[in-house]
Amino acid sequence: MKPTILTCAVTGTFPTRAHNPNLPVTPEEIANACIGAAKAGAAVCHIHVREPATGAPSMKLEYYAEVVKRIRASDTDLVINLTAGPGGRFMPSDDEPAKAGPGTMLTTPEIRTQHIVELKPEICTLDLNTQWFGGGAVINSPKSIKAMAERMYAAGSKPELEIFNTGDMMLAHDLIADGTLKNPLLFQIVTGIKYGLPSTPETMSLLKSMIPPGSEWAAFGAGRHSFTMLAQAYIFGGHCRIGMEDTVHLARGTPTPSNAALVEKAVRIIQDLGGKIATVVEARQILGLAPRKA
């Protein structure tokens, strides 16, 4: 089997320091978490940013820019994967559901991808889901997805297609057929989100069967099934993801001290199953990414 690419998703949007005080929040903490994860065995780091003072999710370019600058100045050549997921949330008002209520972050494709255009990460996420998610409606219309994909490709970034339901995979096939998405493709199967895909081997088998030939894919489980789904992804021939976006626990009842500790455990699991962890150089070759410039 080819080497397994391990991605670390270091902070996300939903966990808070009330869940685990070790969650990275500031740009410096997020960058350091990525560097630590890379030294522990991750070839890719998936990055969200937060408001440093409050820990609330943020979309500010300045925070992304600081994180990327710190990583690129470090002694690691890890692959940078910036999220483009924020900006798709709609919270209907109680009295007028057609109007946006508190917590709505629904905005334009241009705003959602501003940091991608400016910072040109090697990978960026392209969410294909429209669903009830985390107490609100996530809306990713085909028109918006097409506009975002166009800007991602123009920036030289490889979209990582986030799949939350079987309908997302059907949409991906349509976007391939109309030329929006360009081969070779990279898929990320997301399980464990309420009202999304359950964290089961049957789910993994079904979604793998729907992936277009020649594509690379990875999968992860959110919450308590993070490590079991990491093992399932490896067993089914996919790449793997772990990190404090997905779980804040190293084991049941044991908060993780860091993202690096989660990566170290993931590396052990994959190696104990007979796998080999991809180096950054190998990950770039597998994903068709250019070598990092000196």
- Quick check: 39 and 275 in contact, CB under 8 A? no
pLDDT attached to residue 294: 53
CB neighbours of 28 closer than 8 A, spacing ≥ 6? 66, 70
216-269 pLDDT tens trace? 999 999 999 999 999 999 999 999 999 999 999 999 999 999 999 999 999 999
List the domains of the chain with CATH numbers.
Answer: 6-287 (3.20.20.70)
Residue type, 35: I
Distance in angstroms (rounded) separating the CA atoms of residues 138 and 33: 28
64-111 pLDDT tens trace? 999 999 999 999 999 999 999 999 999 999 999 999 999 999 999 999
Q: Which residues pair with 125 in a beta bridge?
A: 160
Distance in angstroms (rounded) separating the CA atoms of residues 82 and 158: 10
Contacts of the segment 24-30: beta carbons below 8 A, 24+ positions apart: 24/244, 24/259, 25/50, 25/51, 25/52, 25/55, 26/50, 26/52, 27/52, 27/63, 27/66, 27/67, 27/70, 28/66, 28/70, 30/67
CB neighbours of 230 closer than 8 A, spacing ≥ 6? 220, 221, 240, 241, 242, 266, 269, 270
Q: Is the pLDDT of residue 290 over 90?
A: no
Q: What percent of the chain has pLDDT over 70?
A: 99
pLDDT attached to residue 134: 83
pLDDT, averaged across the chain? 97
Work out the pLDDT band at 24, boundaries 50, 70, 90. Answer: very high
- Quick check: 48 and 168 in contact, CB under 8 A? no
The structure's pTM equals: 0.96
- Quick check: 46 and 125 in contact, CB under 8 A? yes
Say what angle helices 259-272 and 226-235 make with each other, to 10 degrees.
40
Report the candidate in 145, 139, 96 with the shortest Cα–Cα distance to residue 125. 145
Whether residue 184 is preceded by a cis peptide bond, meaning omega within 30 degrees of 0, is yes
**What integer is the mean pLDDT of 202-219?**
97
Distance in angstroms (rounded) separating the CA atoms of residues 270 and 6: 10
